[in-house]
Amino acid sequence: MRFIGLIACLILAGSAPARADVLVFAAASLKGPLDEIAAQFDDVTVSYAGSGTIARQVSLGAPADVVILANAVWMEVLIEGRHVIPESVKDVASNRLIVIGAAGSGELALTEKAFVERLGDGRLAVGLTDAVPAGIYARASLEALGLWGAVSDRLAEVDNVRAVVALVARGQAPLGITYRTDADVSDAVEEVAAFPAESHSPIRYTAAITPSDNPDTAAFLQFLSSDEGQAHLTAAGFLPPQPEPID
């Protein structure tokens, strides 16, 4: 039955890895530091995707042992569906929402005039604004700053933050909205503006164990919260966990 579950996961995820002793499904924005953390273990494999995609896969039976999402709302969906163990849920990091442009393009004022001028005939790359956490945060910030009306019909919506970076890096979009930690994954892009933290809900990375009965999952989750695990996240630009836990 475990093998059959994996086949179903491969069909759903396309690029999901072969079954490991501990299989972690994690938000794409965590790839750099989480690869380093997983390398500390002999039995951990990580599959990356957008948080909404992960939540849907897990709710459909994908055999994850640990889930790490970039949006607490998606984690609440998994809690309500009993797809993760509520007592295991913990915040492990946070982040900042920024605007990126081509390297050397210069700072951008968070005004309608500046956005429209910089976009020109191009589009604003952003995560799916109704599903991808970075896209949800982006829409909230744009609405809070009175910019949504000027850009809502000029979006290039994609399924994760790394795809946003790729569009800007290739010159296919003059601007993109992503996390600060993603600005460093390509020398072809740079941060041109940062959204006020109060313009959107806190960016919380929450982790949880699924009811998989895998005895090795707790050690991995504990490492994420340890000084060593947090050091990997901090070195990659992530901020400390938000203080408030999920209810």
Binding-site residues for molybdate, please? 29, 51, 134, 161, 179
What is d(CA 104, CA 107) in angstroms, rounded to the nearest whole number?
Answer: 9
Contact indicator for 124, 151 with CB cutoff of 8 Å = yes
Residue in the structure block whose two tokens are 């060593």: 228
Task: Please give the backbone phi and psi of residue 45, each rounded to the nearest 5 degrees, phi first.
Answer: -125, 140
Contact indicator for 59, 15 with CB cutoff of 8 Å = no
Q: Provide the residue type at 243 as one letter.
A: P
Which residues participate in the annotated binding site?
29, 51, 134, 161, 179
Q: Provide the residue type at 140 as one letter.
A: A
Contact indicator for 116, 192 with CB cutoff of 8 Å = no
Task: Please give the backbone phi and psi of residue 126, each rounded to the nearest 5 degrees, phi first.
Answer: -160, 155
